[in-house]
Every structure is written in structure tokens, then in C-alpha cells.
């Protein structure tokens, strides 16, 4: 219970600097190539991650891409809850900038 309260408090404080914050289990993960929204992530039950999009992305060229991927795959395999913090890019898509594994 203590972890949940701390996680919710952290999410609330951090959400003021992000375009979108969602918490849930990982739904679909799609992989593309060529800096074309390389890893696309859906959160179960989330219909608006940011800017009306139901998915968020990372590109292979992003800092810590491998760390994000490792955490996301672990969370998906173990059905753990994650909080995903995103900012909208110039095209309106949701770029993942921060991740919390609950």
C-alpha cells in the first residue's frame, strides 16, 4: 500500500511537466525500423496517452533506449504496472520521456 501511495504522489508531482501520464499494464508492443516510431507501446485500458493517441513511442536513437526496452519487456512478461510519462512531438505523437515500474 505504501508503494502505491508513493507512486501515485510521484506521478502527480511529475505529471505537471508532461503532456500525458498513464498507468497500467502493457498491452501491445510494436517494433518498426528506421527512426519511424521504432517501439510503439499501448497501455491496457488507456485510450488517450497524450494528444488523443492510444500509443506512445521510443526511437532506437533515444538516450537509454535499451534500458527502456529492458524495463518494458520485463513489465510485459511479469504483468507489472508501469507509469508512462510522455510529451507530444511536432506531429502530435506521444514520445516516452520517463517510465516508472510500479
Per-residue model confidence as pLDDT tens for the chain (102 residues): 666 655 555 555 555 689 999 999 999 999 998 889 999 999 999 999 999 999 999 999 999 999 999 999 999 999 999 999 999 999 999 999 999 998
- Confidence (pLDDT) at 72: 96
pLDDT score at 33? 83
In sequence order, the β-bridge partners of residue 23 are: 83
User: What was the pLDDT predicted at 9?
Assistant: 55
CB burial of 87-100 (b: ≥16 within 10 Å; e: otherwise) equals bbeeeebbbbbebb
pTM score, two decimals? 0.81
Burial degree of 65 (CB within 10 A; 0-12, 13-18, 19+)? middle
| Local structure of residue 1 (DSSP, 8 states) | -
Q: How far apart are CA 93 and CA 86, in angstroms?
A: 9
Here the cell at position 98 is: 520517463
Q: pLDDT value at position 59?
A: 95
Hey, what's the cell of 1? 500500500
The CATH number that domain 2-101 falls under is 2.40.50.50
Which distant-in-sequence residues (6+ apart) come within 8 Å of 5 by Cβ?
Answer: none
Q: What is the CA radius of gyration of the chain?
A: 13
**What pLDDT does residue 34 have?**
80
Where in the chain are the domains?
A: 2-101
Amino acid at each position: 500500500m505504501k508503494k502505491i501511495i508513493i507512486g501515485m504522489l510521484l506521478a502527480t508531482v511529475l505529471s505537471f511537466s508532461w503532456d500525458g501520464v498513464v498507468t497500467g499494464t502493457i498491452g501491445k508492443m510494436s517494433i518498426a525500423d528506421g527512426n519511424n516510431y521504432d517501439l510503439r507501446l499501448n497501455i491496457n485500458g488507456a485510450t488517450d496517452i497524450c494528444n488523443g493517441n492510444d500509443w506512445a513511442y521510443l526511437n532506437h536513437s533515444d538516450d537509454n533506449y535499451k534500458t527502456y526496452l529492458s524495463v518494458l519487456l520485463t513489465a510485459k512478461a511479469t504483468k507489472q504496472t508501469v507509469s508512462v510519462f510522455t510529451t507530444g512531438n511536432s506531429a502530435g505523437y506521444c514520445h516516452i520521456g520517463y517510465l516508472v515500474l510500479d
